Each structure stands twice: as C-alpha cells, then as structure tokens.
Chain A
Amino acid sequence: MAVQDAGVPRLAGGGSGFSVLNDQRVRGVLFQVLLVIGVVSFAWWLISNTAANLRAQGIEFGFGILWNTAGFSINQTLIEYQENSTYGRVYVVGLLNTLLVAALGVVLATVLGFIVGIARLSNNWIIARAATVYIEVLRNIPLLLQIFIWYFAVLRLLPAKREALDLGPFGLLNIAGWYAPSPIFGEGFSVVVIALLLAILGCFAISSWARKRLAATGQPFPVFLASVGLIVAALVVSLLLVALIWGRPLTLEYPTLGNFGPRGGARLFPELMGLLLALSTYTASFIAEIVRAGILAVSRGQTEASYSLGLRSGPTLRLVIIPQAMRVIIPPLTSQYLNLTKNSSLAVAIAYPDLVSVFAGTALNQTGRAVEFILITMATYLMISLITSLFMNWYNARMALVER
C-alpha cells in the first residue's frame, strides 16, 4: 500500500506535499548509491593511506622484486630450485607444496571420513562407539595443537638420524623421513606405461559393458576382479616382454646409511607426514559427521525397499543409500575441502615449506615487501578455493536429482 500511496500523487499532480525521499524506489536507489560511495571511498582511503605510508617510509611498491635472487634454501621442492633461483620460483615451489599437501589431504580425509561416518552408524556397538570417540576427540581439539602432537610424536617415535628402521623393499625410515627406493627407468620402460594405460582404458570399457549387460539381462559381472586381473596381466606381460628385448626395465636405487643418516632414494619428509596426518584426521572427523548426516537424510523406506528387492546390506549401501546421500553430502563436503586447503597454511609451525612459510614468510621477510607478497598470497588462496568450489559445484550438478 505504502508504495502506491507515495508514488501515485507525485505522478498525478506534482505532489507538492510529498518529498521525493518518501518514494520507496527512490530511497532504495539512494541507499544503494550511498552504500557504493561508502565502500568505494573506504577502499580509496585504504589504498591511498597505504601508498602514502609506504612513500613516507621510502618503501617502493611493485612486483619487479619477484625476479630478484632469493638466496635461501628449501628442503622439499617439487621442481628444480637452487639458492640462486628467484623469488618468483620460491612462489611456485611454495604453491606446489601447498597443492601437494592439500590434494593428498583431501583424498585421505575423504576416505577416512567416509569409513568413520559409516562406522558410526554401524549396528556393531564397539565400532559405532569407537567412531563416536574418534569424531568427538579430534574435532574438539585445536588443529594447531594436533599438528604439533603429530609432528613431535612422529619425530619422537622414529629412530635417530644415524640409525634407521629397515623396511626391506620399502627402503629406510627414520626421524629425517621415509627414504623409499627410487626407480631408475631402463630402456623400453615406456612400453610398460603404455600397456598400463591401455589396461586402465580396458577397465573402463569392461565396467561400461557390464553395466549395460546388467541393465539388459540382470546378470551381474565381477567388474572389480576383472579389472585387477587385466591390469596385473598387462603389467606382467609388458614387463616380461621388455625384459626379454632390452634387459632390466626398472632398477631400484636403495638408500644407504651415510654419516648424517640415509642418502639416496626418494624421500618423504617428516614435516609432510606430520602435517598430512594432522590435516586429514582432523578434517575426516568433520567429513564423518557430514557423511552420517547424509545417510540419515535418506529415508528408512529406501533401505527397506532395497532389502525387499533382495539386495544385501553392502549393495544397498553402495547402490541405493550413498548415491542419494551424496546430494546432501557434497555441498558441506566442499566447505571441508576448502577448510583443509586453507588450514594447510598452519604448516609454517612445523617447518613444512608451503606457500605461507616460504613466500609470505621467508621471502617477505627478506624483502620487506609485505603488501605485495600478502596480496599475491591472498589472491592465490582465493584462486585455489574458487577453483575447488567450481569443480565441486560441477560435480554436485552432475549428482543432483535429474528430473525426467
């Protein structure tokens, strides 16, 4: 009513007694304009104030610094890095380390979270209680503390640097990390890789054929066993073939115990182990609750219907409950993935060289370019999070109930 009262007389007769401000639409526009002015002037103030302060202290602003030589060393690098590399390269090294721990963490947390979440709904009293205790303990202790506990527990449990636990074919394990044997590929190893890729393609073909056959005839096919068999067969045959033609396709370089601990081999750093364990077990406790909520959201009738059709509890969970629960699970799961990625910045506490540690930490400190480096770091985390969200939204749309 008010809208009409305010609007109509003004249009009709010039409305001498009414202020334009009483028009709700005008006021709506006015307030929005004011808000924009407010936000823009605040941003302008922020930028000009920063610029003025930087100028007053004789600090220049610019990103050319990224091409200067860093001069410090980083222990875990996924790409070539030397002390005389640039700050730009430090950024890439740090970013890759962040992505590594985030990707591994997401996979581990998801697997563990699903197991614990389903376990909490188990009819077995002990399993259900154990899952409850796990969830309640882990999600109620601050993550930073858990990272310290894992890291220093990992450190204290493992043998000292000049000793090592001999894992036989798996290399050596001690306080400086896990030294796995590193593969040295012989001539013709590409044949094995090609065979493996073909076998994986074959697995997809089998699974699609089996699904069609199941739909057409109702005959189930042991897809999992067939796939494993295919991959193993492809590996064995190609390896034998390569061995016959070129000789050893693959030699393993084993680490040896040197003066300052093991040398050689591929190395998994204890900082990565500690951080990964802490991040994935912590996030898994939240994912478990999300999974439980998702499963409980599927009505009991679905289970009963499935049972009455003759499906046992395994296939019921896998084929009926989980696909429907996924629609409830995926959106909050995305938040957990984002949290895990952002929480990985706590790495700095235990010397894991992630983006915050080496770029927004060491590099920032050596150069003093706080504004530029923090801006780049924030933009990077934002990009990682947005890309993760985009992917999860796409996946969610695919899993959503499609109405036909």
Chain B
Amino acid sequence: MGKMLLPIVAGAALGLTASVASAATLDEVKERGELVCGVSQGLPGFSNPDAQGAWSGIDVDVCRAIAAAIFGDDSKVSYTPLSAKERFTALQSGEVDLLSRNTTWTMSRDSELGLNFAGVNYYDGQGFMVRKDLGVNSATQLSGAAVCTNTGTTTELNVADYFRAQRMEYEVVAFEKADEVVAAYDAGRCDVYTTDASGLYAQRLKLANPGDHMVLPEIISKEPLGPAVRQGDDQWLDIVKWTLNALINAEEMGITSANVEEMKGSGDPAIARLLGVEGSFGEAIGLDNDWAAKAIAAVGNYSEMFERNVGPNTDLGIQRGLNALWRDGGILYAPPVR
C-alpha cells in the first residue's frame, strides 16, 4: 500500500505540473471543436441572448466570424457571459479563448493585464443619461449629482476624472451588474446613468419609460471597443486581428455575405487575395486560404454587421458616425491584405 502511494502522489504532482505548458490556442480550439467566447451578460446590439438563448450583437458577430474562419461554421461558438469585473480574469485564466465584450482598449489593459487587443470593432465614447424632467441639458450642470455606473469599468475612472477636471461635486454609486445599475437609476437612486454612449442607447430600452430619459450631448472619453486575447500567442492574435480586418476590408471592396461567392471570380487582385483565390494568406495564420470568405459568408461585411445590430433601423438607432469607413467620413480603416 505504502509502496504504491508514493509514486501516485509524485506522479500526480508531475502530471499536474506538465499541464502548465499550454498548447497554442488555435490547436486547443480545433481540438475542442468550438470557440469559447467571453461576452456581456446582456447588452442589446452588442451581445444579448434572446428568449431561446441564442446570442446576437456586433460583439457576438466577431465571435461567429472567427468560428467561421476556423471551422467554416459560425455556430461552433460557446458563449460565456461575464460581468465587467470577471472578464479579464476569465481571459487570463484561459476560461475563454477570446473576449469580445464591449471592452475598451487602454494601455494598462494591453500591458499590465497581460492582454492583447486585436483591433476595434466599435468606436465609442462615454456619455451621460438623465431624466428629462431634471431640466439639465449639459453635463456641466451636473454638480452635486449622484451617478450610477458599473464597477470595474473605464467609465468609473472617466467619471471621476471628468468631475474633478470640471471641479464639480458628485457621488458615485457603483454596481457589479449592469441590470442593477439600470434598476437603481430607474428607481431614482441616481440622477445620472453613465456608460459608453452606445450602452446608454441600449440600456434605455430596458427602462420603464424610455421616452422620459435623454442622453446629454457631451462625450467625455475615447472608448475604442474591441476583441482581446491573451498575451503570448501571436498566431491567435493574428487570426482575430485579421478576421476583423477582413470584415472591414470587405465593406471597402463591396463584398457582402450575398455576393461573396461571385466576387471570388472578380478580376480585382485585392479581392482575390482577401478571398483566398490568390496567395496563401490564410495558411500564414494557420487557417485555410478562404478563411476570410467563410467569415464574410457567415456574418457579412462590417456594414452588414453594424446595420443588423445597432444601425438606424434597429431599436438602438445609432448612426455610423465615427464608425463609418475612412472614405465615408469615419475613422474605420483596416490595413490591406497583401
């Protein structure tokens, strides 16, 4: 008995130690047969489950595009809802392969947290929502207000910076989950609800009387939202980065989910490279050469993604604004595939 125990204990210790060295994320994902994607706990337009539990939104579409690029099937994604507080630990610890959860790209997150941001899928900025009957029409009139927000977000820091810079008094009431923030604001605990402007439009839909509330004109911060991956796996970073770039380039070239097959026959060499007809760009990142074509076929180009989830014809009704292509007056600009 005793003779057997020692090797078991030692073996267990060694065996466990061996699991430290982790395989490449792409291999893990392929072996598992699905992509594990960290999303929000429910933010309409970005990542939101419907009554059947099917997720949709612009962040969810990024996950689907990557699953399509890897497997050729955009349904091979499992979604992990994460609070703002949990999200980075979940990514660091390997619980999710990819964090696509309206997360702001900042220097400290990119460096100290051991993450890499793969790009920007929505340019946002922090705004304020107030009740119309408060009689306030500018954020500069908010001295003495109580502000409801989420813990563990850049908004919590921005609001502190903004009120300090303006020398205004304020009180922060910070909740862990967005639903509680909305409930407390709706109950009247706070005068102001602050988060990214897109989030304000999305959360306003959850209020008892959305029409009684207005978003103030001031945008107090830059919030480039984008997908993030763990540091130290360059191949995986490239896959996420270039899938996102492919969707933006596709809009620029006029490739849509509907015409992607016929565009493969177009004589334009840039389109031929993107869709994998020429060159071996897909192989260079460990995927098939038609990875971009598969992603575009699944979710469409960036414009389709935007219009479907947050655009003017949705409940959120957000204009393209900053998120238009560079040639249309926005700042959306993807490096070329060549």
Within 295-353 of A, Cβ neighbours of B (below 8 Å) are at: 348-351, 353
- Complex interface: chain A residues within 8 A of B88 (CB): 365, 368
**Contact A75:B157 (CB < 8 A) given known A161-B188, A260-B191, A368-B109:** no
* Cβ-defined contact, B114 with A57, below 8 A: yes
In the complex, whether A258 has a CB less than 8 A from a CB of chain B is yes
How far is the CB of B21 from the nearest CB of chain A, in Å?
8
* Cβ-defined contact, B176 with A349, below 8 A: yes
In the complex, whether B230 has a CB less than 8 A from a CB of chain A is yes
In the complex, whether B216 has a CB less than 8 A from a CB of chain A is no
* Cβ-defined contact, B180 with A350, below 8 A: yes
Number of interface residues of A (CB under 8 A): 54
- Complex interface: chain A residues within 8 A of B156 (CB): 72-73, 362
In the complex, whether B214 has a CB less than 8 A from a CB of chain A is no
In the complex, whether B2 has a CB less than 8 A from a CB of chain A is yes
Bound state CA distance, A260 and B141, in angstroms?
10
**Contact A361:B173 (CB < 8 A) given known A34-B2, A161-B188:** no
Interface size class of B (residues with CB under 8 A): 35 or more
Give the residue of B6, B20, B172 whose beta carbon is less than 8 angstroms from that of A52.
B20
**Contact A351:B20 (CB < 8 A) given known A59-B114, A75-B171, A361-B85:** no
* Cβ-defined contact, A367 with B112, below 8 A: yes
Among the 9-residue stretches B8-16, B26-34, B53-61, the one with 4 or more Cβ atoms under 8 Å from chain A is B8-16
The 8 A CB mask of A43-74 against B (1 = contact, 0 = none) is 01100110011101111000000000001111
* Cβ-defined contact, B173 with A155, below 8 A: no
* Cβ-defined contact, A370 with B89, below 8 A: yes
In the complex, whether B333 has a CB less than 8 A from a CB of chain A is no
How far is the CB of A324 from the nearest CB of chain B, in Å?
46
Among the 9-residue stretches B145-153, B236-244, B281-289, the one with 4 or more Cβ atoms under 8 Å from chain A is B145-153
Bound state CA distance, A74 and B156, in angstroms?
10
In the complex, whether B331 has a CB less than 8 A from a CB of chain A is no
* Cβ-defined contact, A72 with B85, below 8 A: no
- Complex interface: chain A residues within 8 A of B16 (CB): 45, 49
Within 152-207 of B, Cβ neighbours of A (below 8 Å) are at: 152-153, 156-157, 159-161, 163-164, 170-177, 180, 183-184, 187-189, 191
- Complex interface: chain B residues within 8 A of A349 (CB): 175-177, 180
**Contact A72:B144 (CB < 8 A) given known A152-B187, A351-B180:** no
**Contact A41:B10 (CB < 8 A) given known A59-B92, A155-B187, A351-B180:** yes
* Cβ-defined contact, B189 with A176, below 8 A: yes
* Cβ-defined contact, A53 with B187, below 8 A: no
Bound state CA distance, A176 and B190, in angstroms?
8
- Complex interface: chain A residues within 8 A of B161 (CB): 71, 83
* Cβ-defined contact, A53 with B151, below 8 A: no
How far is the CB of A26 from the nearest CB of chain B, in Å?
9
Bound state CA distance, A156 and B186, in angstroms?
10
In the complex, whether A170 has a CB less than 8 A from a CB of chain B is no
In the complex, whether A289 has a CB less than 8 A from a CB of chain B is no
Bound state CA distance, A183 and B22, in angstroms?
62
In the complex, whether B250 has a CB less than 8 A from a CB of chain A is no
**Contact A368:B113 (CB < 8 A) given known A72-B160, A83-B160:** yes
Give the residue of A38, A71, A73, A155 whose beta carbon is less than 8 angstroms from that of B188.
A155
In the complex, whether A366 has a CB less than 8 A from a CB of chain B is yes
Bound state CA distance, A58 and B184, in angstroms?
39
In the complex, whether B84 has a CB less than 8 A from a CB of chain A is yes
* Cβ-defined contact, B230 with A57, below 8 A: yes
Bound state CA distance, A280 and B307, in angstroms?
51
- Complex interface: chain A residues within 8 A of B108 (CB): 366-368
In the complex, whether A160 has a CB less than 8 A from a CB of chain B is yes
Give the residue of A27, A53, A351 whose beta carbon is less than 8 angstroms from that of B175.
A351
Bound state CA distance, A351 and B122, in angstroms?
29
| B contact face: mostly helix, strand, loop, or mixed | mixed
* Cβ-defined contact, A160 with B172, below 8 A: no
In the complex, whether A175 has a CB less than 8 A from a CB of chain B is yes
- Complex interface: chain A residues within 8 A of B19 (CB): 49
- Complex interface: chain A residues within 8 A of B231 (CB): 57-58
- Complex interface: chain A residues within 8 A of B189 (CB): 155, 161, 175-176, 270
- Complex interface: chain B residues within 8 A of A160 (CB): 188
- Complex interface: chain A residues within 8 A of B148 (CB): 351
How far is the CB of A43 from the nearest CB of chain B, in Å?
10
In the complex, whether B279 has a CB less than 8 A from a CB of chain A is no
In the complex, whether B232 has a CB less than 8 A from a CB of chain A is yes
How far is the CB of A48 from the nearest CB of chain B, in Å?
7
* Cβ-defined contact, B188 with A74, below 8 A: no
Bound state CA distance, A175 and B131, in angstroms?
16
In the complex, whether A259 has a CB less than 8 A from a CB of chain B is yes
Give the residue of B1, B160, B173 whose beta carbon is less than 8 angstroms from that of A271.
B173
Bound state CA distance, A72 and B158, in angstroms?
8
Bound state CA distance, A356 and B35, in angstroms?
32
In the complex, whether B5 has a CB less than 8 A from a CB of chain A is yes
* Cβ-defined contact, B172 with A75, below 8 A: yes
* Cβ-defined contact, A38 with B9, below 8 A: yes
Bound state CA distance, A160 and B164, in angstroms?
26
**Contact A365:B84 (CB < 8 A) given known A34-B5, A45-B16, A49-B16:** yes
Bound state CA distance, A261 and B89, in angstroms?
39
The 8 A CB mask of B272-284 against A (1 = contact, 0 = none) is 0000000000000
- Complex interface: chain B residues within 8 A of A53 (CB): 20
* Cβ-defined contact, B152 with A365, below 8 A: yes
* Cβ-defined contact, A152 with B172, below 8 A: no
Q: Pick 23 A–B contacts, CB within 8 A, sort by A.
A: A21-B1, A44-B13, A45-B16, A49-B17, A49-B19, A57-B230, A75-B173, A83-B160, A161-B146, A175-B188, A259-B144, A260-B146, A349-B180, A351-B148, A351-B180, A351-B184, A357-B151, A361-B151, A362-B85, A364-B85, A368-B92, A368-B108, A368-B113
List residues of B whose CB falls within 8 A of some A CB: 1-2, 5-6, 9-10, 13, 16-17, 19-20, 22, 84-85, 88-89, 92, 108-109, 112-114, 143-146, 148, 151-153, 156-157, 159-161, 163-164, 170-177, 180, 183-184, 187-189, 191, 230-232
Question: Closest 3 CB pairs between A and B?
Answer: A365-B152, A57-B114, A368-B113
Known: A59-B113, A75-B173, A362-B174. 13 other contacts (CB 8 A): A34-B2, A71-B160, A73-B160, A73-B170, A161-B189, A161-B191, A176-B189, A258-B144, A362-B152, A364-B85, A365-B88, A368-B92, A368-B113
